[in-house]
Amino acid sequence: MKKTNFIIAIAAASAALLNLSSCHKHDEGELITTVKLTLTPLTGGSAKTFVWSDPDGIGGNSPKQTDTIVCDSGFNYTGDLQFFNGDKDITSEVKNEGDEHFVCYTGPTSDVLEIIYKDSDGKYPIGLSTEWKAKRKSEGLIRIALKHQTKKKDGTCNPGETDVDVTFPIFLK
């Protein structure tokens, strides 16, 4: 009887540890090595894709690729953002967990470039789908940060952990 109770106790403890481990792993940030932004003119025309790539992830070697975003001023664009872990596209995971993710765009002032969120988790924006209104000629930087905001999402960039934080040069011609 003692052996049976001991085995049951060990099995229960193992199950509890496995459950805690899987929850902890789920709450950790995503490993993101590549960010792709595709801008398509609303009036028609060819889409342009801009890439940031850091194959070893944040904190190791410098990024291998950081494209300059080039847009025509006076035009509006549909923006589609994708995230990759190596060759694996994890954008659908970010979208499916939209109530835990928020993409923050920081850059030129709204009189230069206005970015409008087009997707949401039902309460707050996500930021994978946007509209870009390039209002006037300018150049500078635009920062795109994916925030993991488990149980903290409030529609701002403040809470949560940062999964990836990249800066693209931007040129509005």
128 shares a domain with 55 = yes
CATH of the domain at 90: 2.60.40.1080
Residue ranges of the chain with per-residue pLDDT less than 50: 1-27
Same domain as 64, residue 10:
no
Question: Residue 12, SS3?
Answer: helix
For 95-105, how does the pLDDT look when each residue is reduced to its tens digit (9 = 90+)?
Answer: 999 999 999 99
Q: Do 8 and 55 reside in the same domain of the chain?
A: no
| Same domain, residue pair 42 and 11 | no
For residues 84 and 101, state if they share a domain: yes
Are residue 78 and residue 155 in the same domain, yes or no? Answer: yes
Phi, psi (5° rounding) for residue 21? Answer: -65, -45
| Res 63: pLDDT | 86
Q: For residue 101, with 0-12 CB atoms within 10 Å meaning exposed, 13-18 middle and 19 or more buried, which class applies?
A: buried
- pLDDT score recorded for residue 30: 63
* 61 and 17 co-located in one domain: no
Report yes or no on whether pTM surpasses 0.85.
Answer: no
Domains of the chain: total: 2
Q: What is the pLDDT, as a whole number, of residue 90?
A: 95
Give the model's pLDDT for residue 19: 32
Q: Do residues 79 and 118 both lie within one domain?
A: yes
54 and 3 share one domain: no
| Containing structural domain, residue 3 | 1-29
